[in-house]
Structure 1
Amino acid sequence: MGTAVNPFAEKLLLSVKFKKLFPYALYAILPIVLLRVCFYSSTPLSQPPAVQFHENPSILIASSISSSPSHNEDGEYGVAQCDYANGKWVPDDLGPLYNGTSCSTIKDGQNCMSHGRPDIGYLYWRWEPRKCKLGRFDPEAFLTFLRNKHLAFVGDSMARNQLESLLCMLSSFSPPTLFYSNGNDNKFRRWNFPSHNVSVSIYWSPFLVKGVEKQEGQNHNQLYLDVVDERWASDLGLIDVVVFSIGHWYLHPAVYFEGDSILGCHHCPALNLTEIGFYGVFRKAFRTALKTTIQRKVANGNAIGVIVTTFSPHHFEGEWDKAGACPKTAPFDESEKPLGAMDEEMRKAGVEEVEAAKLSAEQLGHWGKVRVAALNVTKLAMLRPDGHPGPYMNPFPFESGAQHRVQNDCVHWCLPGAIDTWNEIMLEIMKGWQAQSRGGG
């Protein structure tokens, strides 16, 4: 096997002078409007300073429960324990920060509005955790937290989906500049937000570990579970916050290696290998990626923030390749749709490996260098069968009348849409990191 070539050979752009924008103050607002703004707005009265990862003499680990500035049960703004993973979708008449024409970075297949999706109800829901409120996304606050830093999404097409959601949300405040693009389907890209000198990247790495995607005439992938994919790992010295997001590629047939040994395979009856499934190797991939990230950053004296986005379930009714569709137009109630066994196992793998990374980091004495969080979205994603492109992965699929069979996308998410909530929670995680730093905890 040859050594993987790092697709990002260029260094980050030099810091750009930030010209502070002074918003106009609003005066004499009608009381009813003021109450509405106070209820919905999550924008703090003053902008917090950028996150300084080296200030905190401890390692913050967040799984389904995150410490973050949040509205607690008493309605006061302060550091609270918020379980963002559990709650319900409630109607929200504010709608998204952007639309299908105001954001230029939406992948064509996820631009449901421009492809003629007739219903718009899927745009008017917000996630309501059980014991706290999730604030509306504040793009200026997000950019301020990451001033002069590099945020990298690493993973498969779901990582790209979350990245493109974030780009659209941020561009509602400050437009980004694409300055690097490489690979098939532009799988390695980097943008810069000059207003705050924030870089945001996507690295295609559907396994996180070293992998060889199936070639022509071959029906399985090859995964090397003890070695990370250097296409992203060799850039760790340039990355301040990394978001890992993988899952669906582990359902495909694969042969697993560790060192020079073959551990077994998943769904490969013709190869005469031991069938070991994919749950264990999925965990091991996270373990290898987290361990390598922490060790390399700390060895160089640098800090790192790591976020693991948990598995996002699909909503095909029927087989995806046999006219399976996702026709729902409203969220599920929690009682309607419990997590399936596979979805729960995949979710647990991400959350529990985050906890294991904490113990490992503590044992190695990596105080003040590492923050790790699980962005636990599996349940809230399961409750949104209406949020996928469905047949509108293609433009105006019914323009010529009813079709006998129309391919559906019931895996990825419409933009704008439900996946914007992933980034709202990610901002709260970053607020929690800052609050922990200020509190010395």
Structure 2
Amino acid sequence: MDSLKNFSESRAHYYFTILFTLILIFFFFSASNDTSPVVSYTTSLPPSHPHPNNLSPFSSQVLSGASLASKVHNNFDSCDIFDGQWVVDEGSSPVYEPGSCPFIDDAFNCFKNGRPDSDYLRLKWKPHGCEIPRFDGVKMMKMLSGKRMVFVGDSLNRNMWESLVCALRESLVDKKNVFEDFNCSIDFIRSPFLVQEWKFSDKAGTRRETLRLDMMEGSYNKYHDADIIVFNTGHWWTHQKTFKGKYYFQEGNHVYSKLEVADAYKKALKTWAKWVDANVNSSRTQVFFRGYSASHFKGGQWNSGGSCDGETKPITNETQLSPYPWMMRALESVLSKMKTRVVYLNITKMTDYRKDGHPSIFRQSASERMNGIIQDCSHWCLPGVPDTWNQLLYAILSRKKFNG
């Protein structure tokens, strides 16, 4: 749960953004011939995740205000890269070795915190009907040369951001110069709701927290002109405070006495969509929205004894997956009405299989665990599942239409 009180997101502002400023060496370009398999996509719908109005959750569907069918890129029509299975891949190693990357928060660093098993690192995502290229850090850096990429959202996006930073660092010959050798930047900006957290005074004069559903969170001017933006929001909308919904949501001067979280979430997404349509130059900036990442608490939630420790194998039976999250239905509805081209990274189903990939008790060191354990069954160990999200992001960016 994003609201784990001792979790690393509370430290997000101190290294709020990591900037790569890197000058690409020209000889890299001599090795730029791409022999990776062609990645293509369909609008096929996984049977376990039905969607209303025939809205497909496929990977890189570009959604906008016209009918969805007319917005599908036709040359991505043979494979849905987010519909597949996890398979054992004994012959390959993680994109970066466990314990090797200094940019991973301790709470994601399961190796450092003593996780003894490693089978969760030997799984790769295989879409049905196609292959996806293995992540190539050098080629990714070429694509990002002279560009700024920003991850905006909650600590699940921080998970993804750290994964990408570590994967790119691994591709460097001289890793000591990671801050000096490239002319691109990759930033994380914390904005767990995307809309603005607020305060108002009730009739008794007491200051109360609210969430302004009609106002973008104020950091938007730090990233509106980036070349690539990856948004997400989701887990904080399951927090107890927002779930109750009493006197918490606000629009203008109106504070709702009661508003269902699903309605509030959709209002917030509409505010985000309106802002993107009005403020993002789609001829320069490619917008991504990453879908909901599955949690696997059993026996309670993060603050009530929920656990996932001892899970070392993924789910293999699709019928055991959770129902498709209501938040993603709301997101898809909003995306379908936008004018801006938005690439929808629907990682929900692929993460639902991975009950084995969370830090669980290994979000803390052994000495810290002696003082009490709160398990983390929402975020992901690094190396781990978010590396695959970045592999898919890389595959999409590798396509000519996203690389120029």
Give the match for residue 421 of structure 1. 388
CA contact (8 A) 1:193 1:199 kept: no
CA contact (8 A) 1:161 1:412 kept: yes
Give the 5 Å matches for 1:140-155: 140-155=138-153
Number of equivalent positions:
346
Give the match for residue 157 of structure 2. 159
Q: SS at 1:419's partner residue?
A: helix
Give the match for residue 75 of structure 1. none
In 1, Cα distance between equivalents of 2:120 and 2:141: 27
Give the match for residue 204 of structure 1. 190
Moved more, 221-230 or 149-158: 221-230
Q: 1:18 aligns with which of 20, 24, 29?
A: 24
Amino acid at match of 1:227: M
Can you list the C-alpha shifts for 1:113-132, whole angstroms capped at 9, x where unaligned?
11111110010001111121
Give the 5 Å matches for 1:248-287: 248-252=235-239, 253-254=241-242, 255-262=248-255, 264=256, 273-274=257-258, 276-287=259-270
Give the match for residue 127 of structure 1. 125
Amino acid at match of 2:217: D
Does 2:362 align with 1:392? yes
Does 2:352 align with 1:382? yes
CA contact (8 A) 2:305 2:374 kept: yes
Query: Residues 43 and 89 from structure 1, CA distance in 2 versus in 1: closer, same or farther, beyond 3 angstroms?
Result: farther
Q: 1:136 aligns with which of 130, 134, 137?
A: 134
CA contact (8 A) 1:388 1:409 kept: yes
Give the match for residue 225 of structure 1. 213
Deviation at 1:429, TM superposition (A): 2.1
Give the match for residue 86 of structure 1. 83
In 2, Cα distance between equivalents of 1:398 and 1:297: 44
Query: Residues 397 and 43 from structure 1, CA distance in 2 versus in 1: closer, same or farther, beyond 3 angstroms?
Result: farther
CA contact (8 A) 1:100 1:106 kept: no
Q: 1:431 aligns with which of 389, 395, 398?
A: 398
TM-score scaled by length of structure 1? 0.69
Point out the structure with max Rg over C-alpha.
1
Query: Residues 388 and 437 from structure 1, CA distance in 2 versus in 1: closer, same or farther, beyond 3 angstroms?
Result: closer
Give the match for residue 242 of structure 1. 229
Query: Residues 91 and 23 from structure 1, CA distance in 2 versus in 1: closer, same or farther, beyond 3 angstroms?
Result: farther
- Indicate the structure with greater strand content: 1
Amino acid at match of 1:19: I
In 2, Cα distance between equivalents of 1:131 and 1:417: 23
Deviation at 1:238, TM superposition (A): 3.8
Give the match for residue 188 of structure 1. none
Amino acid at match of 2:232: S
Q: SS at 1:159's partner residue?
A: helix
Query: Residues 282 and 84 from structure 1, CA distance in 2 versus in 1: closer, same or farther, beyond 3 angstroms?
Result: farther
Amino acid at match of 1:324: G
Q: SS at 2:286's partner residue?
A: strand
Amino acid at match of 1:373: V
Q: 1:330 aligns with which of 313, 330, 335?
A: 313
Does 2:297 align with 1:316? yes
Q: Which runs of 5+ in 2 are unaligned?
A: 1-12, 37-54, 63-74, 201-205, 243-247
In 2, Cα distance between equivalents of 1:386 and 1:12: 29
Query: Residues 226 and 24 from structure 1, CA distance in 2 versus in 1: closer, same or farther, beyond 3 angstroms?
Result: closer
Deviation at 1:177, TM superposition (A): 8.9
Give the match for residue 52 of structure 1. none
